[in-house]
């Protein structure tokens, strides 16, 4: 089942989400929600989806990077779910990269993010994890944790000069495909 994705302007998206209670870990209800979130994310060609983006006030998110039309050249990583994620360490160096958001369809912005980070979280079964990630995976985690804290990627941008409607971004920045007509 595909869930509706709430859009910017929805009050829940600007509030810090509630911690997932430990009693919810491993429950059928949580597994059902996570399955719907994964289906919704894949249907929208996303690489991450926070619970508040589907109207659920809980600190959890789904992430997966497989080739899709929105991120055709992104490095792959498997489907993962994290509960109560928290960044505990991050690089001083930041790297700017293009981001979009399922709650702000049709736009991309150039966003500075930490090159690498270490975070802690719970798995859906309640196991504690501590991981260090870099590059695109680190970018996705920062983006999703921002959602859980009530922020959008534009809040991290230095200004809106590098914020584009997707039609203009495609014409200007998307690599041209050779040998396919004009």
The separation between the first and the last C-alpha atoms of the chain, rounded to the nearest angstrom, is: 39
Give the pLDDT of residue 87: 98
Task: Assess contact for 114 and 89: CB atoms under 8 A.
Answer: no
Give the pLDDT of residue 169: 81
Give the pLDDT of residue 154: 96
Cα–Cα nearest to 123, from 94, 156, 84: 84
- CA distance linking residue 180 with residue 182, whole number of Å: 7
Q: Which helix (DSSP H) or strand (DSSP E) does residue 79 occupy?
A: strand 77-90
Give the pLDDT of residue 172: 80
Residue of 64, 99, 137, 144 marked active site: 144
Task: Assess contact for 147 and 53: CB atoms under 8 A.
Answer: yes
Give the pLDDT of residue 175: 58
Q: Which helix (DSSP H) or strand (DSSP E) does residue 163 occupy?
A: strand 163-165
**61 Cβ partners below 8 Å, 6+ apart?**
37, 48, 49, 50, 51, 81, 82, 85, 144, 145, 147, 148
Give the pLDDT of residue 10: 97
Along the 182 residues of the chain, how does pLDDT read in single tens digits? 999 999 999 999 999 999 999 999 999 999 999 999 999 999 999 999 999 999 999 999 999 999 888 888 899 999 999 999 999 999 999 999 999 999 999 999 999 999 999 999 999 999 999 999 999 999 999 999 999 999 999 999 998 899 989 888 878 876 543 333 33
- CA distance linking residue 106 with residue 76, whole number of Å: 23
Q: CA torsion, points 125, 128, 134, 140, in degrees to nearest 10?
A: 40
**CA triple 156-158-164, angle to 5 deg:** 85
Task: Assess contact for 103 and 7: CB atoms under 8 A.
Answer: yes
Q: 144 catalytic, yes or no? A: yes
């Amino acid at each position: 089942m595909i869930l509706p994705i709430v859009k910017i302007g929805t009050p829940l998206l600007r509030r810090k989400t509630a911690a997932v209670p430990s009693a919810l870990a491993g429950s059928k209800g949580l597994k059902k929600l996570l399955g719907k979130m994964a289906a919704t994310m894949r249907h929208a060609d996303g690489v991450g989806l926070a619970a508040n983006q589907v109207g659920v006030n809980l600190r959890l998110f789904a992430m997966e990077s497989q080739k899709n039309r929105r991120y055709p050249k992104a490095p792959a990583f498997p489907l993962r779910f994290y509960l109560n994620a928290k960044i505990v360490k991050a690089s001083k160096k930041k790297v700017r990269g293009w981001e979009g958001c399922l709650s702000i369809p049709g736009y991309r912005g150039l966003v500075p993010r930490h090159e690498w980070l270490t975070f802690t979280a719970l798995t859906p079964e309640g196991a504690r994890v501590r991981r260090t990630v870099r590059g695109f995976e680190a970018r996705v985690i920062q983006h999703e944790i921002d959602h859980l804290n009530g922020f959008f990627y534009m809040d991290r941008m230095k200004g809106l000069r590098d914020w584009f409607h997707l039609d203009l971004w495609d014409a200007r920045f998307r690599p041209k495909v050779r040998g396919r007509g004009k």
